[in-house]
Structure 1
Amino acid sequence: MKYIIGIITLLCICSTSKAQSYEDKRCKCICPSISSVTNSSETGHASRIMYITNVPPDMCNCDGVILPRIGKEIFGKEQEFCPRCECKYENRNTTIIKVVVIIVIWVISILVIYMAFLIILDPLLNKRIKGSYQEHTNEEDEISAAGPMSHHMSVRGNVLNRVGHQQDKWKRQVKEQRRNIYDRHTMLN
């Protein structure tokens, strides 16, 4: 059920992104403000204007992108304005970008689900370990005295106990490391 909701959400996102009409190929020109050439004081001299258009690569210049838009405003000063513009033709693949984003979202989702699973499983393991704690003795003696049916039960119980003991051991090591690093300012060997 969760996967179906996730797939529907991704399809909605993809359909809305198609409606926004991102271009994979474009020409991006960054030019100074028009007032820097016309000597008018309408805008500041330090501001720059960006023009983005979908044109062929050979038309990605001031003549193909800028002059059709603002040619009337800078008439007669084209030779002064155009050299100050920086035009770059960009070719990108938005499909690959979308796929990478989707993969990253899935990985993060899987990690969150795994973390939730461990958070839910931790109290169950600790409850079972504390409820069935026995003094550790020779395991071969216990298995041979209990019979074949209890052998499977004790193996399963021993596995959970071992997992719980390893988890407790790891937690103690982490606490010791934190204490050494933050309180004593030393590192463990």
Structure 2
Amino acid sequence: MSLGFGGVSVFGVLFAFNLVVSLSDARMRCRCICSRQLDLSQRYNKTVWVKTIENPSQCKCPEVVSVQNATDCLLCDCKYETLSVVFIEVIIIMILVGLGALVLYMIFLIVSECLGSKSLRTNPNGLAAKGWARIRSHQQHWREGVAEQRRNVYQRHTVLS
């Protein structure tokens, strides 16, 4: 399986096609909030009924709410809603693209480290060897700082000293 940029461009084309298709594919539903009391502002004693419908004219209480008595629908407020899942899909795709970029960066770092250590063995006095030595010295300095912070926190019980 290839993790190159070709896979990302194919992924982008598929996403654009899915976006065009999903713009015309929205969920339509009718939501009825029925109260058991005359005061509709109270939050308790309310029942919510949701039904997927095709036409806004079908958004009426007797078609959505399964009640036996027609007077129960007098206390219901029914609203037609169109839900689009495009925004959610865009966020998920952005997260997946970000994770893919991080994976590609990780693979790049692994490969460059392997090639760097190989060049160190073949030419210990070259420019790559000096670069890797500088990186390793920075890593060692960072590790020493972390170890000092650990000693301060766990042994001396001080922070930022």
TM range (shorter): 0.5 to 0.7
Q: Deviation at 1:52?
A: 3.4
Q: Deviation at 1:64?
A: 3.2
- Alpha-carbon deviations, 1:56-106, whole Å to 9, x = none? 4xx6xxx93322234762223332x42xx5x45545542233122111111
TM-score, with length taken from structure 1: 0.51
Q: Which residue of 1 aligns with 2:41?
A: none
Q: Which residue of 1 aligns with 2:106?
A: 115
Residue 151 of structure 2 corresponds to residue 179 of structure 1:
yes
Give the 5 Å matches for 1:97-136. Answer: 97-119=88-110, 121=112, 128=120, 132=124
Q: How many residues are matched?
A: 144
Aligned CA-pair RMSD: 4.3
Alignment partners' CA distance in 2, 1:116 and 1:187:
36
Larger-Rg structure? 1
**Structure 1 stretches of 5 or more lacking a match?**
38-45, 133-152
- Contact preservation (8 Å) 1:26, 1:91: yes
Secondary structure (helix, strand or coil) at the match of 1:77 reads helix
- Contact preservation (8 Å) 1:53, 1:65: no
Secondary structure (helix, strand or coil) at the match of 2:91 reads helix
**Structure 2 stretches of 5 or more lacking a match?**
38-44
- Contact preservation (8 Å) 1:51, 1:66: no
Q: Which residue of 2 aligns with 1:74?
A: 69
Alignment partners' CA distance in 2, 1:119 and 1:176:
28
Q: Which residue of 2 aligns with 1:41?
A: none
Secondary structure (helix, strand or coil) at the match of 2:31 reads strand
Relative to its length, the structure with more strand (as a share) is 2
- Contact preservation (8 Å) 2:59, 2:79: no
TM-score, with length taken from structure 2: 0.57
Residue 35 of structure 2 corresponds to residue 28 of structure 1:
no
- One-letter code aligned to 2:88: I
- Contact preservation (8 Å) 2:29, 2:80: yes
Secondary structure (helix, strand or coil) at the match of 2:138 reads helix
Relative to its length, the structure with more helix (as a share) is 1
Secondary structure (helix, strand or coil) at the match of 2:60 reads helix
Question: Once the two structures are aligned, what percentage of the paired residues are identical?
Answer: 27
- One-letter code aligned to 2:69: I
